[in-house]
Amino acid sequence: MSDETAVLDAPIESAVDTSVDTSAETPVENSTEVPTEQGSENTPEDTSEKTEQSSAVKDTTAKDSGVALPKSISQALKALQDGNPNDPNIRSAVKQLRDAFFSNQAMVKEFGTVAAAKEAKAILSELAGGSTDLKTIREQVSSTKGTLEAIAESDALLYSGDPQLVQNVVADLKEEGKLDSLGKLTGHFLEATKTEDPEAFVGLQRSILLDSLYESNFPQTVNALSAALKAGDTDKAKSIVRSVVRWFTSEQDTDSQRLSLTRQENQRLEAERKQSESRYQSVYSEVAKQTNSISDVELGKSLRPLLQGELKDLSRPALEELARLIKSNFSERLDSEAYPSKIEKLLRAGKKEEALALHRKTASAIAKEVVEKAVHTRYPQTKRSVAAKAAAPARQKATSSGAYVYVSQRPDRTQMNMTKTTDMDLVLGRATLKDGRRVTWRQNHRIATKD
């Protein structure tokens, strides 16, 4: 976004005020019984109907929680009911209006705003894999809670060195039919122990070695060799030694094969990792071009009003410098969010469209703040200018000896006193002339302004 071409024509979403004025929340008298004419008699049906009508309006003034309807709403509902005492549609409408009010009050009490409620819904929906069904969300939340508890329990076993953790892992691998993974992990765990805790590794290695020698009948072989030597039976002693050499050579060959298979497996995994990383980098590069375009559009929407106003006369070099500052601040803001990890997770899963949607949503949410911060940092006067515009109605009544006189055309630079005219003055559309006059060629500045 090195030019105004990055600023696109697009509507800007406006915030919707969903707050409810409860400043006049005072209960009112709710009796809606209409006196009958003197001498008239009420039938049981009349009495029942009037009681129902009265109850309908009374019920609109307060919920079980004790929150009262604002006085104006209560009176309006009462007048509506009194004007149509026999109309069931009116009674139904009164009830619906009353329920709508208290539903809104409950929402405001729990979430504060509609936006906050929507955000909570989006978070819960994301936990449920995109579902908006309440039952599905509850099940997923319950499942997630169970998963977190299981993780916490496993962490406690791990940190305390409890062997039960290993039993749990073995049981899980058996249940999933992945028991072969246990052997794949064992070697890596031993290597990590050898590197991080050599003393523990030596103790473990000694124990394993002794167990292996006993399983191979090595002590009996040594005893037999010793007996043959004592008896002077050289041939038998040589035979025993040859058998020991064959056994050891066989073990070496077996271990060499194991190491070879391990190296092949590691090479395969490394090749897969590199291939996966290459695919990720390719997708990342492709998506990066699209996200840059999305960022320029969103930032341009927020920058355009400023380029049409306070920054109208900004030179191209100054505009390019501002654009670089905006993009830098934008990148820093993205890095401070949970955005990078979410984007990487989506791209590694091959969900390119979801990644683009997340970037568009994030960029749209922070663009205005990023642009305004960069502009106000680079040109502090613009912040004061915004405040001045807000005070324009009052300023129209003011007069000042330091007023800028409106002129229909911008003066030539040769007419300006450049010692007293700053670059920001030019950006704001004003200047001090060599004859001492202070002029502005902006309509909104034709009323007196001060530095």
pLDDT in tens, 144-191: 788 888 888 888 988 888 889 888 888 988 888 988 888 878 888 888
CA distance 42 to 33: 12
Asked if 129 and 140 touch (Cβ cutoff 8 Å), the reply is yes
pLDDT digits (tens, 9 = 90+) for 351-383: 889 999 999 999 999 999 999 988 888 888 766
User: Tokens 């004061």 sit at which residue?
Assistant: 384
H or E segment at 406?
Answer: strand 405-406
d(CA 266, CA 272): 10
pTM comes to 0.39
Residues paired with residue 68 on neighbouring β-strands, in sequence order: 62
Contact 302, 329 (CB under 8 A): no
206-214 mean pLDDT: 87
Q: Are strands 438-440 and 405-406 parallel, antiparallel or unpaired?
A: parallel
Distance, CA of 356 to CA of 362 (rounded, Å)? 10
pLDDT band at 93 (very low <50, low <70, confident <90, very high): confident
Q: What is the per-residue burial (b if ≥16 Cβ within 10 Å, else e) of 266-285? A: eeeeeeeeeeeeeeeeebbe
Average pLDDT value over all residues in the chain:
77
**What is the pLDDT at residue 128?**
65
In this predicted structure, what is the pLDDT of residue 402?
Answer: 54
Token pair of 410 as six digits = 């911008």
Is residue 29 scored above 90 in pLDDT? no
How many residues are given for the chain?
451
Report d(CA 30, CA 18) in Å as an integer.
Answer: 28
How far from 305 is each of 9, 16, 386, 431, 444, CA to CA, in Å? 11, 21, 12, 22, 15
Longest CA–CA span in the chain (Å) reads 143
Angle (deg, nearest 10), helices 352-378 and 380-390: 90
- What span, in angstroms and rounded, lies between the C-alpha atoms of 407 and 445? 10
Q: Please tell me the chain's helix, strand, coil percentages from 3-state DSSP, rounded to the nearest 5.
A: 70, 5, 25
Domain spans, the chain: 51-112, 169-277, 281-387, 393-445
Question: What string of DSSP letters covers 106-154?
Answer: HHHHHHSSHHHHHHHHHHHHHHTTT---HHHHHHHHHHHHHHHHHHHHH
Give the tens place of pLDDT for each residue, 388-447: 454 444 444 433 445 788 888 889 889 999 888 887 888 788 899 988 889 998 866 544
- Residue 385 has a pLDDT of 54
pLDDT per residue as tens digits for the range 10-28 = 332 322 233 333 333 333 3
Least confident of 118-132, 235-249, 318-332: 118-132
pLDDT at 136: 78
| Chain segment 261-307, per-residue pLDDT in tens | 888 988 998 999 898 888 888 888 889 889 999 999 999 999 998 88
134 versus 196: the higher-pLDDT residue is 196
How confident is the model at residue 74, as a pLDDT? 82
Which of 139, 130, 58 shows the shortest CA–CA distance to 91? 58
For residue 326, pLDDT over 90 is answered with yes
Backbone phi, then psi, for 62, in 5-degree steps? -155, 145
Give backbone dihedrals phi and psi of 93, rounded to 5 degrees, phi first.
Answer: -65, -40
**Looking at residue 110, what is its pLDDT?**
82
Task: Tell me, rounded to whole angstroms, the distance of Cα 57 from its chain centroid.
Answer: 45
200 vs 39: which has the higher pLDDT: 200
Q: Is the pLDDT of residue 35 over 50?
A: no
Quick check: 61 pLDDT over 70?
no
Return the higher-pLDDT residue of 169 and 73.
Answer: 169
Better-predicted residue by pLDDT, 1 or 143: 143
Show the CA angle centred on residue 260, arms to residues 255 and 265, nearest 5°. 125
| For residues 246-264, average pLDDT | 88
